[in-house]
Amino acid sequence: MSTQNALLTILVEKINNDTLVLPTLPAIALEVRKAADDPDINLNQMGSVIEKDPSLSARMIKIANSAYMGRSVKVNSVSQAVTRIGLRQIKSIATALAMEQLFVSKNEVVRQYMEREWTNTVAVVGNAMSALQLFTQRTRNRELSMDTMTLAALIHNIGVLPILTEAERHEEVFANPTFLEVAIEKLAGQIGASIMREWGFGTQFADIAENWRDLAVIPDKLSYIDFVRVGAAQAGQLEKQKDAVMNLAVQRGVIEEVSTLSSDEFKALSDSAKQIFS
């Protein structure tokens, strides 16, 4: 058995036996998500939750003062930041900041992959958010929400984490780009769906994590996965399928024409959105 097949076999066996160790979302993110889902929560109460974590507090203030929020007056407290950002986006942003902590490794090869995957994820998020903003401006269709779009793009490739973690456990054999690329392409979707179910994110996010690479999976109605695919293709994650993704996006009305993604407006919106997570 080749080393490449050995890694796939180990991962598949662990998936089938339900023994693959899935990443755990940090406690502060879970607490913020729970608070955001409480219909009775107010901005002051949410501020108190965020203030429990100094790092999260600092990042929220930074985001509130970013170009993405489009305000010239600076905020200098968590309560002001929460008020500016709003409860809905707080949930996605807190999840993103917590997820970033998961993309770390002590092995040099795996660490490079972790950094690359997080950088790619941020690029996909920025592109997908930008595409949705332009779509909303053009069509006045507000059925898709920006906060859900943000979260969908953030988790689209979360399945790479257990693969990279497994490679780190057997770094002398598996911490090799050739093996990792194949394992990620073949198994990341299935594993990502398992993580979404484990985190309690629901079917919608599990479907995105599992199927964003598979262009045979096309929802009846325009969906978040359409924007994730555009974001991923624009970020270089679907190079072999990029033309097909773009043609499908035009057909389904995600974008009016492919040249939209090369416009200064698209780039400015994408860069502004990426500031949130970098």
* pLDDT range class, residue 1, cuts 50, 70, 90: very low
CB within 8 Å of 204: residues ≥ 6 apart: 152, 224
Alpha-carbon gap, residue 79 to 90, rounded angstroms: 12
What confidence score (pLDDT) does residue 164 get? 87
Answer yes or no: do 126 and 30 share one domain. no
Answer yes or no: do 188 and 62 share one domain. no
- Max avg pLDDT among 29-38, 96-105, 135-144: 135-144
Q: Please check the confidence at residue 2 and state whether its pLDDT lies above 70.
A: no
Alpha-carbon gap, residue 184 to 159, rounded angstroms: 8
Percent pLDDT > 70 in the chain is 96
Alpha-carbon gap, residue 83 to 87, rounded angstroms: 8
What confidence score (pLDDT) does residue 85 get? 86
Answer yes or no: do 165 and 241 share one domain. yes
Q: Encode pLDDT of 170-218 as tens digits.
A: 777 666 777 788 888 888 999 999 999 988 888 999 999 999 999 999 9
Question: For the chain, how many structural domains are there in total?
Answer: 2
Alpha-carbon gap, residue 71 to 196, rounded angstroms: 34
Both tokens of 238, joined, read: 């679907």
Q: Please check the confidence at residue 247 and state whether its pLDDT lies above 90.
A: yes
Q: What is the CATH number of the domain that holds 246?
A: 1.10.3210.10
* pLDDT range class, residue 152, cuts 50, 70, 90: very high
Q: Which of 80, 101, 122 is the last residue of a domain?
A: 101
**Domain ranges, residue 138:** 3-23+104-277
Q: Please check the confidence at residue 45 and state whether its pLDDT lies above 60.
A: yes
Mean pLDDT of 99-109: 85
Q: Which of 82, 101, 120 is the last residue of a domain?
A: 101
26, 94 Cβ separation under 8 angstroms: no
* pLDDT range class, residue 3, cuts 50, 70, 90: low
88, 94 Cβ separation under 8 angstroms: no
The whole-model pTM stands at 0.87
Answer yes or no: do 50 and 129 share one domain. no
Percent pLDDT > 90 in the chain is 42
CB atoms within 10 A of CB 50: 25
Both tokens of 240, joined, read: 């072999």
Answer yes or no: do 7 and 49 share one domain. no
Answer yes or no: do 128 and 142 share one domain. yes
Report which residue type is found at 59: R
Q: Which of 79, 101, 123 is the last residue of a domain?
A: 101
Both tokens of 25, joined, read: 């979302």
Answer yes or no: do 219 and 131 share one domain. yes
Alpha-carbon gap, residue 13 to 96, rounded angstroms: 30
What confidence score (pLDDT) does residue 75 get? 87
Answer yes or no: do 125 and 233 share one domain. yes
Q: Please check the confidence at residue 87 and state whether its pLDDT lies above 70.
A: yes
